[in-house]
Amino acid sequence: MADTFEELIADAEAADVTGWGFDWLDGRATEERPPWGYARLLAERWASARAALDLDTGGGEVLAEASVFPPVAVATEAWPPNAAQATARLHPRGVAVVQTAPGAPLPFAAGGFDLVTSRHPVSPDWEEIARVLSPGGTYLAQHVGPASGFELIEYFLGPLPRERQGRDPQAEADAARAAGLEIVDLRTARLRIEIRDVGAVVYLLRKLVWWVPGFTVDAHRDRLRDLHEQIQRGGVFVDHSSRHLIEARRT
């Protein structure tokens, strides 16, 4: 593995950041996993569903871990490179992948799915989720919680007290209830991230473009070099993610 600042930067700039796989970070960064095991829960629910929809599926990586799919199996993704990956990964297994537009209504009939799932949706549209669920149908998802990744984000952008309040799980639960859904389960977790080289930082900020909008290596080279030296001294940069599991039922 490269170890000089310039080598680490060059490796990260050359890395493929499409899809939602993070294998490139093996040996470079680790993230504690939530205790509920979302991929296992998703696989169990999909195996028993009649018609299931996975929203914001990315490259289909998490959904592909399921071993059994229902008779009607659909996934959506808005970013074209991810949609292409998801199609290649899931279509051979009988899952239709539909490319959607951000913020647009879901292109499905009302009440068409008894199960809707999502891992880290961009912005859950509770009205649309409730609309496409059949009566008694379930929404099961793992959402990104408040102030996730903010030690790293604020390293580049400075304090963001207002933004730290976003993605509040109770506020999302209230919005789901307002759309006609009953909250069945809501669990939260705060998880440790350890970043072991500056290349991992560049990779993350290229992939998670909303963390530091407009990030480029050239524009942030001084901060990256300072962070590289900090990691060299201490061995690790510690960050934290937050997640919540939410299960809701259409009444």
pLDDT at residue 196 in the model: 97
Domain spans in the chain, listed from the N-terminal domain onward: 5-250
What are the tokens at 107?
A: 């292109």
What are residue 176's DSSP bridge partners? none
- Predicted confidence at residue 20, as pLDDT, reads 80
d(Cα 77, Cα 148) in Å, to the nearest integer? 22
Q: Classify burial at 111, counting beta carbons within 10 Å of its beta carbon; exposed 0-12, middle 13-18, buried 19 or more.
A: middle
Helical (H) or strand (E) element with 127:
helix 126-132
63-99 burial, b at 16+ Cβ within 10 Å, e below that, comes to bbebeebbebbbbbbbbeebbbbbbebbeeeebebbe
Q: Which long-range contacts (CB under 8 A, 24 or more apart) does 80-87 make?
A: 81/18, 81/19, 82/18, 82/19, 82/20, 82/57, 82/58, 85/18, 85/19, 85/58, 85/59, 85/60, 86/57, 86/58, 86/59, 86/60, 87/60
pLDDT value of position 21: 84
Q: What angle do CA 204, 206, 84 make, to 5 degrees?
A: 105
Helical (H) or strand (E) element with 115 = strand 113-119
Which pLDDT value is given to residue 2? 60
| Stretches in the chain below the pLDDT threshold 70 | 1-2
pLDDT at site 18: 87
Q: Which CATH class is domain 5-250?
A: alpha beta
Calpha distance 251→237 (Å, rounded) = 45
The model's pLDDT over 184-195, given as tens digits with 9 standing for 90+, comes to 999 999 999 999
Residue-level pLDDT at 1:
52
